Amino acid sequence: MSPAPREAMIALVDCQSFYASCERVFDPSLENRPIVVLSNNDGCVVAMSQEAKTLGIPMGIPWFKLEPIAAAQGIVARSSNYELYGSISARVMEVIGRHAAWQEVYSIDESFISLRGTVEELIQAGRRIRQDVARCTGVPVRVGIAPTKTLAKVALIGVKRSRPLSQVGVCHFGAYSPTQRDTILASIPVMDLWGVAGRLGRRLANLNIHTAADLAAQDPGQMRRRFSVVVERTVRELRGTPCIPLKEEPRQYKDQLIYSRSFSEPVTTTPAMRQVLSIYAQQLASRLRNAGQEARVLTAWASTSPFATDQEPHSPQISAVLPVPTAEPVTIARGSLGLAELIRPGTRYVRAGVVLTDLRPAGQAETLPGLGPPGEGRNLGPTLDAVTARFGVGSIGLGYGGLGEPPSWQMRRAMLSPRATTHWEELVTAHL
Partner 1 sequence: MAGFPSPSQDYTTAEIDLTEHLMPNRASTYLVRARGHSMTGAGIWDGDELVVDRSIRPQHGHVVIAVLDGELTVKRLSIGTDGRVVLSSENPAYPDIAVPSLSDLRVWGVVTVALHHVSRAS
What residues make contact with partner 1 under the rule CB under 8 A? 25-31, 90-91, 94-95, 135-138, 420-421, 427-432
CA distance 145 to 222: 28
Least Å from the CB of residue 431 to partner 1: 5
CA distance 25 to 138: 6
Q: Which is nearer to partner 1, 75 or 380 (CB)?
A: 75
End-to-end, the C-alpha distance of the chain in Å comes to 58
Least Å from the CB of residue 22 to partner 1: 12
For 196, 202, 237, the CA distances from 210, given in Å and listed in that order, are: 11, 9, 17
Please tell me the total number of residues recorded for the chain in this structure: 432
Measuring CA to CA, which residue among 8, 207, 224 is closest to residue 102? 8
CA distance 63 to 61: 6
CA distance 275 to 120: 58
CA distance 19 to 80: 8
Q: Could you tell me if 187 and 162 are in contact, meaning their C-beta atoms sit under 8 angstroms apart?
A: no
CA distance 139 to 130: 9
CA distance 243 to 139: 31
Least Å from the CB of residue 123 to partner 1: 23
Question: 177: how many CB neighbours lie within 10 A of its CB?
Answer: 9
Least Å from the CB of residue 30 to partner 1: 8
CA 366 from centre of chain: 33
Q: Which is nearer to partner 1, 202 or 423 (CB)?
A: 423
Question: 53: how many CB neighbours lie within 10 A of its CB?
Answer: 15
Least Å from the CB of residue 429 to partner 1: 5
Q: Which is nearer to partner 1, 110 or 232 (CB)?
A: 110
Q: Which is nearer to partner 1, 135 or 163 (CB)?
A: 135
| CA angle 227–243–219, rounded 5-degree value | 45
Q: Which is nearer to partner 1, 31 or 255 (CB)?
A: 31
Q: Which is nearer to partner 1, 26 or 106 (CB)?
A: 26
Least Å from the CB of residue 84 to partner 1: 11
Least Å from the CB of residue 11 to partner 1: 19
Least Å from the CB of residue 136 to partner 1: 4
Least Å from the CB of residue 430 to partner 1: 4
SS3 359: strand
Least Å from the CB of residue 93 to partner 1: 9
Q: Which is nearer to partner 1, 235 or 420 (CB)?
A: 420
Q: Which is nearer to partner 1, 137 or 331 (CB)?
A: 137
Q: Which is nearer to partner 1, 179 or 429 (CB)?
A: 429
Q: Could you tell me if 337 and 387 are in contact, meaning their C-beta atoms sit under 8 angstroms apart?
A: no
Q: Which is nearer to partner 1, 26 or 409 (CB)?
A: 26
Q: Could you tell me if 23 and 9 are in contact, meaning their C-beta atoms sit under 8 angstroms apart?
A: no
CA distance 53 to 22: 17
